[in-house]
Chains A and B, each alone.
Chain A
Amino acid sequence: MTAIFRHELRTDFHTLTTYLFGACLLAFIGIWAMMYNIQASVSNFEYVLGDSCLAFVVIVPILTMRTLAEERRQKTDQLLYSLPITSFQVVLGKYLALLTVYAVPLCLIAVYPLIFAQYGEVYLPTSYGSLFAFFLLGAALLAVGMFLSSLTENQGFAAGIGIAVILLNYYSVSLSEYVSSTAFGSAAALYVLILLLGLLIKYVTRNEKLAWGVGLVLLALTVAAYFVDPGAFEGLLPRIMTQLSLFERFYVFVNGVFDWTAVVYYVTVIVFFLFLSVQSLEKRRYN
């Protein structure tokens, strides 16, 4: 695993996109910090992070698109398969390299609150709590991006899907509020989402039976739950989306609450998508 990690890190630092990622992150946070903390003299650094996280929509896919898709395109995945290392080690090594690349600009950013503290009252626990959550949010998105990169050999495709997925996640709560909040509206929206999930499973696993199976079971459960307790469906969709949204969990930290359940949620998402990436690599062995 260390071999993969070191190799990946060296490749990353030889790629323009890595510097682009760092530069964009620094620029975004720099601009917001200038506007809020310096020009408007607001002492809350966490607001800067709260607004900058929109940058992830673009910069995370840029960083992750290459990781696994490029291996597949230049057929070096065959080398990885034939080396005495497991797919898990490959995925973990690559992910840790991504985290390292991501941590470098964050280390620079971590100095900002200290600088601002020299010139006024900055409540550091909230600032650093938010920075920690900001790191976790990025880490979770990196895991998602890496999984998307494992699905294709086309970097552009990986990046495009990545942007779409993260953007959807970013706006999921506000979008879900447009859906009628009546019980029937929520149930109908869930029905559509289940269909989409089924399609996704079908595309990713190429297993039609599995897709139909999962889809139908979820549909049956939804219908059953609807008849048992229609009241629970009122306003259900925004609630589900708030629970699922990676960004919503982050805003809790920005508001000054160190939420351990969110930490657990982020770690779960990371583990889940790393697991999916491993499965995606293994699946190609069974094509």
Chain B
Amino acid sequence: MIEIEHLTKRYGAVTAVSDLSLQIGSGQIYGFLGPNGAGKSTTMNIMTGCLSATQGHVRIGGYDIFEEPRQAKKLIGYLPEQPPLYLNESPLEYLRFVGQAKGLKGSELTGQIDAVMEQTGIQEMKNRRISALSKGYRQRVGIAQALLGDPQVVILDEPTVGLDPLQIIEIRDLIRELGRSRTVIFSSHILSEVQTVCDQIIMIAHGHLVAFDTPDNLEQKLLAPSEIALTAQADPARVEALLAGVPGVAVAEIRQEEQGRTAARVLTGGRDIFQASRDIFLAFAAEQTVLLELTPKRASLEDVFLELTESDAPDQPQREEEAV
């Protein structure tokens, strides 16, 4: 559906997006994740034709956004970071304008306006002035605007920022619903949100693509060099001796706890974490030592995020010097 090839965007000496290549399929929800200033908004602005690229191509459904903007833009609905609303109009007037600008007419226009207002739940507010609406409703009007013209791709830039928890849940539900019939790309820097809503995660940092996978696969990837936490009913020396008999694991930390219990953290190195857990269990069972806890610690998406985005950081100070 969307092809991004070697996309680069420079603002003077600062490189916001650097050689980004992506293939985005249809009918899924894509989460666009990255720390602030990673180039999320810049990439989205380029994808929607709001910004030019220094280098590279973006094709939407086969149409180049720079060369055939008209056809390409018809396939996209875009909600920028700050909803582009005319505050002294009502949602109905606003949507009518956007619909007309997208080439809708007559009964098709009124039909679609009704449909998107229904979908985003702004029917009751349709005749109020947008300036009188709450942030949550404004966001919905912004999303409604993006849905007009029935685009195949909906791009939402941080749609949940600044909303209260209830509104966040409502917007997420809306995104899920949209994802059933179209491609949805939305950016966020909240991991849990992306994890719960998305089928695929695109992670970028400092303008580079650092990961593009399903949430589960991303976690799996970082599972390998993980650790196991265990607590046993034995003194530290005994626990250490038992662990020494298990191949491929190394004790990272061991400490005595009250009532004769010992807690330990074990690194599994390159071994499969569940295989190592099994070996530890059997070693303790063979010696009739009671294991009270045995937890293979899975890397959370947060760890993945931190690791992937920070591993890329070294060239950052240099860039800041250039900018100065």
Interface residues of A (CB under 8 A from B): 2-4, 6-7, 10-11, 14, 74-79, 81-86, 285-287
Contact = CB atoms under 8 A, between A and B. Distances in A.
Contacts of A6: 97, 100
Nearest to A79: B84
Interface string B87-103: 11100010001101111
Contacts of B48: 81-82
Interface stretch (B66-74, B238-246, B255-263, B298-306): B66-74
Contact of B102 (A2, A76, A81, A83): A83
12 contacts: A3-B97, A74-B86, A77-B84, A78-B45, A81-B51, A82-B50, A82-B80, A84-B69, A84-B70, A84-B73, A285-B52, A287-B11
Interface string B38-54: 00000001001111100
B273 interface: no
B73 A74 contact: no
A43 to B, nearest CB: 46
B101 A75 contact: no
Contact of A85 (B76, B80, B101): B101
Contacts of B78: 78, 82
A147 B280 CA distance: 76
A82 B145 CA distance: 11
A83 B51 contact: no
Interface string B132-174: 0000000000000100000000000000000000000000000
Given A76-B84, A78-B80, A83 B50 contact: no
Given A11-B86, A74-B85, A79-B145, A84 B52 contact: no
A150 B43 CA distance: 25
Contacts of A84: 69-71, 73-74, 101-103
B82 interface: yes
A86 B73 CA distance: 11
A223 B71 CA distance: 51
A97 to B, nearest CB: 13
B84 A75 contact: yes
B71 to A, nearest CB: 8
Contacts of A10: 93
Interface of B: 11, 45, 48-52, 69-71, 73-74, 76, 78, 80, 82, 84-89, 93, 97-98, 100-103, 145
Contacts of B145: 79
Contacts of B82: 75, 78
Contacts of A14: 88
A81 B85 contact: no
Contact of A285 (B51, B87, B102): B51
Contact of B87 (A4, A74, A81, A287): A74
A83 B98 contact: yes
A114 B80 CA distance: 54
B186 to A, nearest CB: 15
A4 B45 CA distance: 22
Nearest to B70: A84
Contacts of A81: 48-51
B105 to A, nearest CB: 10
A82 B69 CA distance: 9
B106 to A, nearest CB: 14
B85 A82 contact: no
Given A4-B101, A78-B80, A84-B69, 10 more contacts: A7-B101, A74-B87, A78-B78, A79-B84, A81-B49, A81-B51, A82-B48, A82-B50, A84-B103, A287-B51
Contacts of B11: 287
A157 B310 CA distance: 44
Contacts of B97: 3, 6-7
Contact of A3 (B71, B76, B85, B100): B100
Contacts of B100: 2-3, 6-7
A4 B86 CA distance: 13
Contacts of B52: 285-286
Q: Which 10 A-B pairs have the closest CB atoms?
A: A3-B100, A79-B84, A84-B73, A3-B101, A81-B50, A76-B84, A7-B97, A82-B78, A78-B80, A82-B48
A75 B80 contact: yes
A77 B84 CA distance: 8
B73 A83 contact: yes
Contacts of A285: 50-52
A257 B220 CA distance: 85
Nearest to B69: A84
Nearest to A286: B52
